[in-house]
Amino acid sequence: MSSAYGDAYAVKMTSGVLVTCDSAAKQILLHLDSMRDGPYKFMIRDVDETHIMIKREYVEEIKELLQDELEKNTYIQDPNL
């Protein structure tokens, strides 16, 4: 059955990896994604406050990038003090 809107009962399926995290970490991920172009974008869908869906091949890379980003925000005491 077709209508002007296309099939009202159509369902779209996408495979990927669902990331569950706190909202701060999610914002960092969004930021990382916005820095990338074309095929290097890893985000498939911004789901809600604490979830995003990403491409499977980027999982390990994302974990490392996030750690690096968090490391930048950590105060490290100067050992000479």
Partner 1 sequence: MVQPSFSHPRSDPSSSTSSSPTAALDAFLDNQHQSYFEELYKSEAVCLCVLRSLPPVPRHIILHHLWSHQPLRTTEVKSFLQLDIQTSIQDVDEIMRPALNRKILHPMMLKKNKMLWPSNDAFKKGLRNALTGLGTSNSFGVPFDRDDDAEIPSQEVLVAYGEEAFEGILKYMVSSGLGIGFSVARPQAEVLELLHISGLMIDPTDATGQNPNLNKMTITSKGFQFLLEDRQTQLWEVLMYYLTAKEANSERSAEVLSMFFSLGCMQLGQDYSASKSFPHALSALNDLAQYGFIYRPSPDSNQFFPTHLATALCSGDAAATKSQDADEKRFLILETNYKIYAYTSNELEIAILNLFVDIRIRYPNLVVGKLDRKNVKSAMEKGISANQIISYLSSHAHPQMYNSPPPLLHPTIVDQLHLWDRERNRLKMEDTVMLEFFSKELFEDTETESKANAALQLSVPNQKFLFIEPQTKAAITDFVKERQNQLRSGF
Name the minimum Å distance from CB 52 to partner 1. Answer: 10
Reduced to 3 states (helix: H, G, I; strand: E, B; else coil), residue 46 is strand
Angle at 15 between CA 52 and CA 7, to 5 degrees: 100
Cα–Cα distance, 11 to 8 (Å, whole number): 9
Question: Which CB atom, from 20 or from 34, has the smaller least distance to partner 1?
Answer: 20
Q: How far is the CB of 4 from partner 1 (least distance, A)?
A: 13
Interacting residues with partner 1 (CB under 8 A): 1, 7-23, 25, 44-45, 47-48, 51, 53, 56, 59, 62-63, 66, 70, 74, 76-77
- Name 31's bridge partners: none
